[in-house]
């Protein structure tokens, strides 16, 4: 059974230069920017008084906000290489309000391979990726998203499926070969394994997630 599952898993593959700034000054500037950002408040605009998550497509970041709107954590991510869109088989990241419908992988070791939403006994390695370079590895944890806006990311629009849950749109762990901060995915939101483990612990089922094209 395990051999058959592993075989199925492996064969189902879906500019200008500038002078570097002074190192100390650059570090100070980064620290100042981080401190300034951490003190900004962004209350949940959909459900006031509730914590929420914002996925910024333009910035390629995922931010977790408290019920008061305080930024608790920000992660670099990777959304769809083809940009934003909601239709089935577009391989684009859907926009708008979602919620976390299901969480998969609780307690699994970092880099554990998840195949068809089942935690497997196998782990991702750079060597395995080199052997199957086109494999869309889903690792460590899944936060499965449900669209909350009918006709945009829930149900269908003009007879075409736009449902994020039915499209299997996840926030999930990715392999170490994936560059965070750059769009590379097939529609999901990719994170490092370490980051998605932390996010998994911070976010309960039902938590609202806004995917903002301009964020």
Q: CA nearest 172: which of 145, 194, 148, 141?
A: 141
User: pLDDT tens digits for 108-163?
Assistant: 999 999 999 999 999 999 999 999 999 999 999 999 999 999 999 999 999 999 99
User: Using CA atoms, how far apart are residues 139 and 152, in angstroms rounded to an integer?
Assistant: 28
pLDDT tens string 31-85: 655 554 556 799 999 999 999 999 999 999 999 999 999 999 999 999 999 999 9
Q: What residue ranges do the domains of the chain occupy?
A: 78-210
The Cα 93–Cα 211 span in angstroms is: 8
pLDDT tens digits for range 167-204: 999 999 999 999 999 999 999 999 999 999 999 999 99
> Active site includes 188?
yes
| Residue 39 known to be catalytic | no
What fold is seen in the domain 78-210?
L,D-transpeptidase catalytic domain-like (2.40.440)
Residue closest to 207 by CA, chosen among 49, 50, 48, 77: 50
- Selecting among 98, 101, 146, 188, the annotated active-site residue is 188
Q: What is the pTM of this model?
A: 0.83
Query: 39, 129, 172, 177: which one is catalytic?
Result: 172
């Amino acid at each position: 059974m395990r051999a058959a599952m592993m075989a199925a898993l492996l064969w189902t593959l879906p500019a200008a230069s500038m002078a570097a700034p002074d190192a100390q000054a650059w570090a100070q500037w980064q620290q100042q920017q981080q401190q300034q950002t951490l003190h900004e408040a962004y209350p949940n605009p959909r459900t006031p008084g509730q914590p929420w998550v914002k996925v910024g497509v333009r910035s390629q970041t995922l931010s977790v906000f408290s019920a008061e709107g305080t930024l608790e954590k920000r992660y670099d991510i990777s959304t769809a290489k083809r940009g934003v869109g909601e239709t089935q088989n577009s391989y684009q990241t859907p926009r708008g309000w979602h919620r976390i419908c299901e969480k998969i992988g609780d307690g699994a070791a970092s880099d554990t391979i998840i195949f068809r939403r089942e935690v497997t006994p196998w782990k991702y390695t750079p060597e395995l990726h080199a052997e199957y370079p086109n494999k869309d590895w889903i690792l460590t944890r899944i936060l499965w998203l449900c669209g909350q806006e009918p006709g945009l990311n829930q149900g269908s629009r003009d007879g075409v499926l736009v449902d994020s849950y039915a499209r299997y749109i996840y926030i999930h762990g990715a392999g170490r070969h994936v560059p965070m901060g750059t769009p590379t995915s097939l529609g999901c939101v990719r994170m490092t394994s370490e980051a998605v483990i932390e996010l998994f612990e911070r976010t309960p089922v039902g938590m609202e997630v806004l995917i903002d094209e301009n964020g």
